[in-house]
Structure 1
Amino acid sequence: MNIPQTARLNFKLMGERDAQLLFDLDSDPDVMRHLTRGKVSSMQMIKEVFIPRLQAYTNPDKGWGLWQVNITDTNTFIGWVLIRPMGFFTDESNFSDIEIGWRFKQLSWGKGYASEAAKAVAEVIEKQAGVTALSATALKDNIGSIKVMQKLGMQFIKQYIHTDENGDLPAVLYRKSIEIE
C-alpha cells in the first residue's frame, strides 16, 4: 500500500532503519509533553522497545505502521502518522476500528502539516475492506491533536483516564464511522 503525495508532503513506511529519525523526534521535551510528560526517549528505548512494538503491528499490505512524513520540496523529515488496529496491544484489539495518531517536530507546528498528513493517510485507510471506524486518542489538554481529530471529521466519544508508569491523566477518545459502500 502507498499513500499518495500531497501538495507539500510525501510518505513511506518506517522501520528499524529509521531509529535515528525516531530518536531525533522523541528527543524534544515539548514534542513529548503530551505523551510522556516531557520525558525524552533514549536511543536504547527506541531500539529495544519502540522498534519491536512498531514491527509487531506493521503490515504493509494493510497500511499499518508508522508513515514517515517528509516535506517534498526539501525531503525534510517532520514526523509520522501511526496506523494500527485499536487496542492492538490489549486483549481487546479491534481490526475493524483503526487507530490513527501522529507526532511531529516543532519546526512543523502551526503549518497544517499534521492535518494534511493525517487526512492523506486516513483517506487511503478508510477505503479498505473491513474498516468500519477510524479512532484517535489524546490527553485532554492536547488541543493541537484534538483539532486534527476534528478536522478529520471525528466526533468526541468519551473522556477517560489514561494510566501509565507516571500516573493517571484525563484523556479523550474521538471516532469517525466509515460508510461501507
Structure 2
Amino acid sequence: MDENNAEELFQLDQDPAVMKFINGGTPSSREQVKTVLIPRMQAYRNAEKGWGLWQVNDTETGEYLGWVLVRPMYFFSDNPEIDNLELGWRFFQSTWGKGYASEAAQHIKQQLSHDKTIKSFSAIADENNLASVGVMKKIGMKYIKTYFHTDPLFECDVVYYQIANH
C-alpha cells in the first residue's frame, strides 16, 4: 500500500471496534491518515525488502479486507532491529474470526523467510487484545515477554511474541 491508498486506510479505521486496542476506539480522520499514518508508512516502506503495509483482498471477490504490516522491530526507536521483522495487522470487523489475518500474516512471513538475513519475526499487541494474540500463536509465534512499549503514537503494556526464521 502507498499514499494512493489513503481512502482504504481511512475506511478501515472508521470502526471503533477496530481501533479499540490502537487508541481506545477513536476513528482516524482523513487528516490523520494524510499527515500521520501515510508519512509513518512511507518512513519504513521498502518494497524490495517487503517492508510496508501489504493490502489483503479476498481472492474471489477482490474485496479489501485489511492489511498486514511489515517493518523492522522498534523501527521508530534509536535501535531498530533490521534482522527482526515486526508483523502487525488490521482488518475490518466483518472479517474477524474467519482466519484472514492468520492466513495473510503466515503467507507474508513465508514469502519473506527466504531472506536469510532475517533472523526472526515478531509481533506486539495490547495484552488484552486476545484476537491478535491468537493470530500470533496461530502463525507459530511464542510468548517472549510483557513490557511497556513506547512509540511516537502510543504507550501501553504489550505482549511480545516471536518466531525464529529457519
Per the shorter chain, which TM-score range? over 0.9
Aligned mate of 1:144, from 131, 148, 160: 131
Match of 1:58 in 2: 45
Mean Cα displacement is larger for which, 120-129 or 139-148?
120-129
Q: TM-score, structure 1 length as denominator?
A: 0.88
Deviation for aligned residue 1:129: 2.7
User: How far apart, in 2, do the equivalents of 1:164 and 1:84 lie?
Assistant: 14
User: How far apart, in 2, do the equivalents of 1:39 and 1:83 lie?
Assistant: 24
Match of 1:111 in 2: 98
Match of 1:162 in 2: 149
Equivalent AA in structure 1 for residue 136 of structure 2: M
Match of 2:161 in 1: 174
User: How far apart, in 2, do the equivalents of 1:52 and 1:165 lie?
Assistant: 13
Q: TM-score, structure 2 length as denominator?
A: 0.95
Match of 2:120 in 1: 133
Deviation for aligned residue 1:152: 1.1
Match of 2:108 in 1: 121
Deviation for aligned residue 1:162: 3.3
Structure 2: which 5+ residue stretches go unaligned? none
How many residues in Structure 1 have an aligned counterpart in Structure 2? 166
Q: Does 1:34 align with 2:21?
A: yes
Deviation for aligned residue 1:39: 1.3
Match of 2:82 in 1: 95
User: How far apart, in 1, do the equivalents of 2:134 and 2:151 lie?
Assistant: 24
Match of 1:84 in 2: 71
RMSD (CA atoms): 1.5
Change (3 A) 1:147 1:18: same
User: How far apart, in 2, do the equivalents of 1:36 and 1:98 lie?
Assistant: 23
Equivalent AA in structure 2 for residue 60 of structure 1: A
Deviation for aligned residue 1:170: 2.4
Deviation for aligned residue 1:178: 1.4
Give the 3-state SS of the residue equivalent to 2:136 in structure 1.
helix
Deviation for aligned residue 1:109: 0.6
Change (3 A) 1:18 1:166: closer
Deviations 1:123-157 (A, max 9, x none): 01121130001000000010000011011111100
Change (3 A) 1:167 1:87: closer
Match of 2:2 in 1: 15
